[in-house]
Chain A
């Protein structure tokens, strides 16, 4: 048996490797997608004042700090029994939508679909990056991408104090109100972001990707990138996508609602399965149960993040995003959509929603209200709180317990990437089986296997920073005696 290993090496949030076992004929026998996390964060948090967690949790990850910041603030609202005033909630949501924009745009243009589809999935890996994208689309568009990403970062910075690790949301609201001059600046940037996100959908998704038959065939391929699963996402009271608040809605592979529940009730509906070969757990629907890595409505596996959210919702809460949502499902032939590579398209639609929502909030007369925080009162103290949000990479739940002095005694996190872990595992398996035949493996084929999980924009292996530069990807090929035949480094 031959073993192929795709191993990104990093040292912070943990690392992941893909191991593909081939049978004697050189076809794929099985695959494993292992995640090795740095454990012990819960222990690190115990014994600390619970109000410090929204600030500490941002250090858990350099890629999703705002998601942890907001989920944590909501959990501490619960611990202190305090409800933020409207302006406090809206400002949290505004900063959070700016974070979605930064995250989604960076993934779209620098890492995910743009390098794979603008440059080409089998193109020279030296060109399959943001430099190759700029070469293809031109410097002007490259500059526009960077400028708009910078707008999103600036909004995060203006609200959060600092963009990467915000010090903004606190129990009961946010730390400071929005000044009128800042509101005006945000409104102006948000308008440009809306235009840019429309451009992304019209010019990149539609004209460059969907109108290329080779790419479209890949996207539509049921053999390589396709799973009929359940989907989960947070929705508002009209079942529209919401990143900040609402109820988690789960739909089956036919789009029928299975359950809708408040984040506070997550333990009644979500359980986590453990496999001996990975540290990260696999969340599943409790009522259906864990049935292994299988798809279909009899499996408890759900997929989350952009495609999961669009499938789980009935629409988007802003007009242009709603238009894009309708076009997406019409083009794909109905709802839900099961094609894994359409995570990218869904991500672009969500970026448009985030931009429209920032603009909407910037024009809301209440947004500059100085009353941005409700002060917690001891008589309302509950000692337990659950914060549920949608992170760019999926549903995210923080659950805290604190003693009578407000000191953390218990902490449970179900992180966004975990909700898609089972989906990613199955996607790699299917892509590997479809693409690797008779022992023939080359860089282009392995990139297409990686595309199966890159669509989910996983963040387990994203370092807060790395030196020297980034995570190398090592591919090791072993023969059936366990002897190393070849090493490919990229």
Chain B
């Protein structure tokens, strides 16, 4: 239990982001679905979605711990990057033509007094095959179990301890 990210009294969200019909862009959703299947206990909410901007604020607020799994553009499909909101510092003031950034949404929530997570860990999985398709590329599909294992392992007690308990 000493490896746990937080106490199990906390409200924990594991959130898979992506577009499920855009090929490897949906890898975050697939990973979280696999994690949900393997989770035997209570206390962790697994959700998936294709949202951004202020909607992220709606999703994250109210939890103590949030784990986000998402695709990110890269040259090594399946490579996992572990990020925290601090790693996104540089994007806080950027805005797209229609929405605000993830980091911006988190900061806005804090500024407005929302209950925002104390711990946010982001797993970015590199992908480079994005096209209209319901499945992952063969390469990423084959690597999926390993990706799920690696994320579970990195998450430490938050996930693994609960598996052992049940």
Contact = CB atoms under 8 A, between A and B. Distances in A.
A63 B132 CA distance: 17
Contacts of A25: none
Given A38-B130, A470-B91, A131 B19 contact: no
Given A110-B95, A110-B99, A164-B51, A467 B124 contact: yes
Contacts of A41: 132
Contact of A464 (B52, B93, B102, B113): B52
A92 interface: no
A468 B88 contact: yes
A143 B112 CA distance: 6
Nearest to A143: B112
A288 interface: no
A464 B54 contact: no
Contacts of A331: none
A480 B165 CA distance: 67
B91 A459 contact: no
A481 interface: no
Interface in B90-108: 91-104, 107-108
Given A106-B54, A115-B95, A134-B111, A38 B131 contact: yes
Nearest to A468: B88
B91 A153 contact: no
Contacts of B95: 110-111, 115, 129-130, 470
A164 B124 contact: no
A18 B55 CA distance: 28
A464 B51 contact: yes
A125 interface: yes
Contacts of A146: 54, 57, 108, 112
B5 interface: no
Interface in A92-128: 106-107, 110-111, 115, 125-128
A139 interface: yes
A454 B71 CA distance: 27
A465 B107 contact: no
Given A11-B25, A12-B19, A469-B88, A461 B130 contact: no
Given A142-B112, A468-B72, A149 B97 contact: no
Contacts of B111: 131, 134, 139, 142
Contacts of A128: 93
Contacts of A59: 19-22, 50
Contact of B58 (A44, A62, A153, A466): A153
Contacts of A134: 111-112
Contact of A471 (B68, B94, B112): B94
Query: Which of B17, B22, B71 has the most chain A CB within a 10 Å cutoff?
Result: B22
Interface of B: 17-22, 25, 49-58, 68, 70-73, 83, 87-88, 91-104, 107-108, 111-113, 122, 124, 130-133
10 contacts: A11-B73, A63-B98, A106-B98, A106-B99, A131-B108, A131-B111, A134-B112, A469-B92, A469-B102, A490-B94
Q: Which 8 A-B pairs have the closest CB atoms?
A: A469-B91, A470-B101, A469-B101, A44-B132, A465-B52, A462-B98, A467-B70, A464-B50
